[in-house]
Chain A
Amino acid sequence: MLELLKELCSVAAPSGSEGLLHHVIKREISPYADDIKTDVLGNLIVHIEGKGPKVMFAAHTDSIGVVVTHIKENGMANFARLGDFDTYTALHQRVRFTNGTTGIVSCEAGTLKDLKTSDLFIDFGTDSREKTEKLIKIGQTACFIGEFSHYEGRVCSAALDDRAGCCVLIETIKKITNPKNDLYFVFTAEQELNSRGAKTAAGSINPDYAVVVDTTCGKASLGSGAIIKVMDESFIVHPYINELISSVCDENDILHRYEASMGGYNDAGCIHQNKDGVPSGCIAIPIRYRHTPCEMIDMSDVGNCSRIIEGLIEKGF
């Protein structure tokens, strides 16, 4: 799983450009899927047929990033945020555009004390608007570069949120035999822009149940097990789903903890409000330094999340 995770993290796919990751996912899961399609918003929807109620699993493919809003006379480019991150986090980071161009984020003189996004700009090493325009255009997007490294199960990289979740879904798909439910695995788009992809994916699938795999930077420490979200800012877990997850964990002796928080968003926030409501849950991978180029997770937590999802599919909804 480590090699797959590394490959997924290496693709520059900020919100809006999720399609750039699809070839990797398709390559992995094509032999196992009954149907694969991409929808208008850029969701990759994988269907594994089965009788029984429809269950939608989701993990988001987009990472945080930036979008160019202006190219200055001196060749520097101003930008807006795609998703939520700290201005100081962006400072002096390298960014990679979807067309391969790279640049460095810097700031206007004297703005360090109270740094705003409008004080930041990207330096391409050019000195003129004309030269920069040969590299990128207004509206082009980039994500942060953060080298993938690992040591004894701890992984550090950009984009672990939520490529790690995507890994969980990919590995799960490969292990499915005799599903008890009609299964949809959605690699969602634009989660960092308020779960827009999840909303439309749920709108077209109309699932009976949903479970999201995302990351959480709440209180849990790395290596302490999969996090079962009871509540975050976007949703409250449905009691039936909570019960189901709980029994899967007990029956299979899976290390897990519960989390209730006033903060944090995940795709379940939009999915559970589809049509007349969808009982939904979220399994989360604990993460440090979320939404930075150096996010950190523990592979044992990813493993435990996988076991929960596999257990849910095995048990059936």
Chain B
Amino acid sequence: MLLRDLTSIGGVSGDEGAIRRYIYNNIKNRFDSIKVDGMGNLIAFKKGITGEKKILLAAHMDEVGFVISKICDDGFLKFKIVGGADPRLLVSQRIKLVKDGACGVIGYKAMQLQDASERERTAGIDNLYIDIGASSREEAEKRVSVGDYAVFDSEYREFGDECIKAKALDDRAGCAVLMSLPDVRYDFDLYVVFTAQEETGARGAKVISETVTPDMAMIVETAICSDVYGTDEKDYVTIVGEGPALPLIDGATYFDRPLTEQIHKIATDAGVPVQYEKTARGGTDAGAIQLLDGGIRTVGISMPARYIHSPVTVISKQDYNNCCKLVALVLQNLQL
């Protein structure tokens, strides 16, 4: 099952190899050519019937994770966060070393031994460590090296009212949408790009223009979703179950309004639920892609996702399916 497979693979920014291989093997027979560029972006190309225009779709392969920064004398590992995970949610999390799937936990001083001021603070990353059950530096060094990657240990689960919980839905969900595109040839040249290192500043996306300068770019991502207890309605941004979300503006991009309105109309005409991302925050590969060369018309289609950058990101199956539907409809009907 595509989403289960994609979210189970460990692929932190800079270490996307395993995800790239999985995606390549899955899509290789459906494109005219596929290449990997110097940043690790996977770029799949399908020639258009007339090829007068070029359209680019993008989703990022990398997930937020950890890199081992030090092996301590007592066998514990110090680590750094790769990407924007909230350090406050790390205590007591389970992790997996990417290279061999070995388990570990993120630990902190026992609560019973903490004084009043420590109990009131959240543990900063400097006070946390990974425990892989090694009793000495020598034992740890047999199993792990500085620079090795780790990811949240969180299984794909379906639950509740057609919801999915998994790590890395940001943006394996986007990758899954791109991998589910209908296998048809369009009028335009199609570039489907699985980018690297988005979580560390859209670094993969920044070099895409070396391969192609498209007439339009569509970024398929997960959208901030805070329709939860304790959040005021004005800050929800998106609502789970109300359909794929169209970004208007975020911290890095003022999206193409006429094209976004067209996409909205395509959705409503076809009876596909759709919403807007009601925020001006965040940032995606669009931030880099829109500003390549002389500027590229850029839009986005996202899936509302609660608890992004945590081990328990939640999306709705329906939103995922409707997102797939809408992307296909847009490729069929968009007027550039």
Interface, chain A (partner B; CB < 8 A): 15-16, 39-41, 43, 67, 69-70, 72, 78, 80-82, 118, 138-139, 190, 193, 196-197, 199-201, 203-204
Contact = CB atoms under 8 A, between A and B. Distances in A.
B207 interface: no
B150 to A, nearest CB: 34
Contacts of A204: 293-295
With a 10 A CB-CB cut-off, give which of B280, B281, B290 has the most chain A CB atoms: B280
Contacts of A196: 254, 290-291
Nearest to A196: B291
A15 B249 CA distance: 11
Contact of B293 (A43, A78, A190, A203): A203
B35 interface: no
A95 B249 CA distance: 19
Given A118-B235, A200-B295, A204-B294, A69 B279 contact: yes
A40 to B, nearest CB: 4
Interface in B222-261: 233-235, 248-249, 254, 256-257
A87 to B, nearest CB: 15
A69 B293 CA distance: 30
Nearest to A43: B295
B320 interface: no
20 contacts: A39-B295, A40-B295, A41-B291, A67-B280, A69-B278, A80-B281, A81-B280, A82-B249, A82-B280, A118-B234, A138-B278, A190-B254, A196-B291, A200-B294, A200-B295, A203-B291, A203-B293, A203-B294, A203-B295, A204-B293
Interface of B: 233-235, 248-249, 254, 256-257, 276, 278-281, 290-297
B213 to A, nearest CB: 10
A257 B276 CA distance: 48
Nearest to A41: B295
A139 B247 CA distance: 9
A139 B275 CA distance: 12
Nearest to A62: B254
A15 to B, nearest CB: 7
Contacts, number: 65
Contacts of A67: 248-249, 280
Contacts of A81: 280
A80 B279 contact: yes
B234 A69 contact: yes
A78 B236 CA distance: 12
B230 to A, nearest CB: 14
B254 A39 contact: no
Nearest to B294: A204
Nearest to B275: A138
A134 B256 CA distance: 23
A16 B248 CA distance: 11
B276 A203 contact: no
A193 B233 contact: no
A39 B256 CA distance: 12
A141 B240 CA distance: 26
A69 B233 CA distance: 11
A138 B292 CA distance: 28
With a 10 A CB-CB cut-off, give which of A118, A139, A200 has the most chain B CB atoms: A139
B223 to A, nearest CB: 13
B6 to A, nearest CB: 31
A82 B254 CA distance: 10
A41 B296 CA distance: 8
A138 B295 contact: no
Contacts of A200: 291, 293-295
Contacts of B295: 39-41, 43, 197, 200, 203-204
Contacts of B254: 15-16, 190, 193, 196
A303 to B, nearest CB: 33
A255 B124 CA distance: 54
A200 B280 CA distance: 21
A80 B292 CA distance: 26
Contacts of A16: 249, 254, 257
Given A69-B234, A69-B280, A203-B291, 10 more contacts: A16-B249, A16-B254, A40-B295, A80-B280, A82-B249, A82-B280, A118-B234, A118-B235, A138-B276, A196-B290
